[in-house]
Amino acid sequence: MNSKLTETQQKAICSKLGNVKLKLLYKASIHGFTGADFHQHCDNKSATVSVGYNKSGHVFGGYTSQPFSQSRQFVNDDQAFLFSFSREKLNTYPVTNAPYAVKMDMNSGPNFGDTLILVYKNRKEMYSNPGSLGSSFHKKLYNFTAEKMHGNNLDLTECEVYQVEESSQFENPWRTVNWNSEQKKTLMERIESYKPSISSVSEARVLLVGPVGAGKSSFFNSFKSIFKGHITSQATPGTSSTSVTTLFRSYTVTPGREGKSLPLVFCDTMGLEAEVGAGLNIAEISNIINGHIPDRYQFNSSVPLQSEAQTFRKNPELKDKIHCVAYVIDASKISIMSQKMEDKLKAIRKTVNSSGIPQLVLLTKVDEVCSLVREDIRNVYRSSYIRDVVQEAGTRVGVPLSCIIPVKNYSQELELETDIDILLLSAAVQMLRFVDNLFDDLSDQLSSVTNVK
């Protein structure tokens, strides 16, 4: 069925009701202009918006939060209102006597307290009594004039009833993204041309930390694929219950087949597991962020690297340390995250906080948890569900919403997609901004020490 109510008119009605959408239940020209037809399609469904159209071109109707039935009784509804449109502008008339807001009439369509009735007595007509005949009863229900509501034309051409549903999509995105190839190019150039503000450091080092299977390795592979121009896989991703990554690895990316590596290095770790003695030992985090762990170090879940060990890097420089930590979290696992895992993440965050290193969250697999995003990745910042997941992730990990970035890693795709690339690149650019914040702080500290001397 095609809606006769225009998109602008629907938006005007929805804006009064909140974050909702309208689903067409009944269309009299298709289902029939009888009370029985109306009740067959609309009973026991709430809330609803009923709309009438007449021969003079007026569009009008009413909203009720209560379900229709055939009880023949008046129904109390303090949220009910009537409405009309004047050149797409919505005029509303709230109920003023709530106990009589809606009447359940068997032989008619939507009945708003015997004040406005659509499909009146099984005919292509309407009934309207706004209280102009001196009835004190009707004057107390809805204050409107027949002229403004429907132009005194009682001949219906159409009647529609819509169910009001909670919308999973915001009218305006809660973050703004430019979804075009130029934006992708701009983001890539920003990463390629990045230069740390501290001369002793040539590249930003970002540590990826997260539960097993969250997508740490897949994020790096996806990021590398963008600069290679095709889907590639260097870090080994996995879906097992235990970590596939057992070594500490520092991954660089060289665009194309030759040339200079990007000034951004991703450090991959063993995955976190909820149980004690399994997965990455959180005591190892301090060694990692302070640069004591060498590349390709074999993790031991039971015992962290000791300072007296031969492989322990005793005097790391700033260029060897971690400059930003990114927690990689599976969006589908947020709500079922165990308390043990949450405690591990917060313990890691506490250690990172003490070092003053900036942190953010990469929220992966957003397309798997929201049908809107699955249909079109551009809906990621229009999805109210993703917004809720982002908020829960902030609570679980303990970071502000501005530090949580939804992304989609490449998994089953064979070719690159611009929209996926833009989300991944935006996350990387945000990491570099956070790294700049760290270097700025370190430069300020150095300046303060110098001035004191």
Q: Rounded mean pLDDT of 227-247?
A: 72
pLDDT for residue 394: 92
pLDDT for residue 273: 87
The whole-angstrom separation of Cα 288 and Cα 267 is 9
The whole-angstrom separation of Cα 251 and Cα 241 is 24
Q: Rounded mean pLDDT of 320-327?
A: 96
298 pLDDT band (50/70/90 cuts)? confident
Give yes or no for residue 134 having a pLDDT over 50.
Answer: no
pLDDT for residue 328: 96
Lowest mean per-residue pLDDT among 80-84, 129-133, 296-300, 400-404: 129-133
Residues 6+ apart with CB under 8 A from 213: 238, 239, 240, 241, 271, 330
pLDDT for residue 280: 85
- Arithmetic mean of pLDDT over the chain: 89
pLDDT for residue 283: 85
Give yes or no for residue 136 having a pLDDT over 70.
Answer: no
pTM confidence score: 0.67
Give yes or no for residue 173 having a pLDDT over 80.
Answer: yes
- CATH 3.40.50.300 range(s) for the chain read 181-452
Q: Rounded mean pLDDT of 25-37?
A: 96
Lowest mean per-residue pLDDT among 46-50, 322-326, 439-443: 439-443
Order the strands of the 20-27 sheet from edge to edge. Answer: 20-27, 156-166, 48-54, 59-64, 81-86, 89-94
pLDDT for residue 132: 41
Could you give the angle at the alpha carbon of 445 between the alpha carbons of 440 and 437, nearest 5°?
20
Lowest mean per-residue pLDDT among 295-299, 361-365, 400-404: 295-299
CATH code of 181-452, in short, is 3.40.50.300
138 pLDDT band (50/70/90 cuts)? very low
